Structure 1
Amino acid sequence: MLTLCDIWSARQRIADVLRPTPLLPSPVLRRWSGSEVRLKPECLQTTGSFKIRGAVNKIRSLGGKARRVVACSSGNHGQATAFAAQQAGMAATIVVPRRTAPNKIEAIRAW
């Protein structure tokens, strides 16, 4: 079971890689819900999504024991994993479906 300590440990592992992202109020969602709603635009992260959080955390949690990482993705997870592997000095193999959009493949290869 995930504990609060696990969450704090993950936060510390990934803190130096993340870009700070603002919490933006959403007037539309506030009207719909009747409550204050704020959005966190994780699209502002280095790889364009929140997936960077999990990928960096997982690779760093390996403690340098691995030399290569393999992931299956048609987009954001693959890009985040490739980025995290590059940051850790590891090789990465990202397996994509045959019909993956060329721009997604290029974004993964960029790392």
Structure 2
Amino acid sequence: MVNKSIPYQSFCWVIGTTSFRTAKLNLKIEAQLLLLDEFYNEVIKESSWNWNNELQEKYYDFMKDRAFLTGEAKRKDKDAREKTSGLVDIGLITEDRLITDAGRELLYI
């Protein structure tokens, strides 16, 4: 069998409603999990966790404050859902945006 070298090409993965460029995909996923975990721990200190529009807007501002994103979304809640929906689809977080055992294992690694 001949071992043929395959040149690298840039392409995009689409998971749910979220698109990721392959560059730094793993770092973006890990950063998002860490942000969600930090945000959850802050919210739980103040009140209960309920992934509704109000909390989604707060999460958008939280991501922006930590320079995970730039710009100003017209609908912060929708943007927060879009940023996290791919992680739901691959099983790293739940529909309520809580980190799953698989997500925790990824962070552990």
Instruction: Give the TM-score category using the shorter length.
Output: under 0.3
- Which of the pair has the greater relative contact order for Cα pairs under 8 Å at 6+ separation? 2
TM-score if structure 1 supplies the norm length?
0.26
Higher helix share: 2
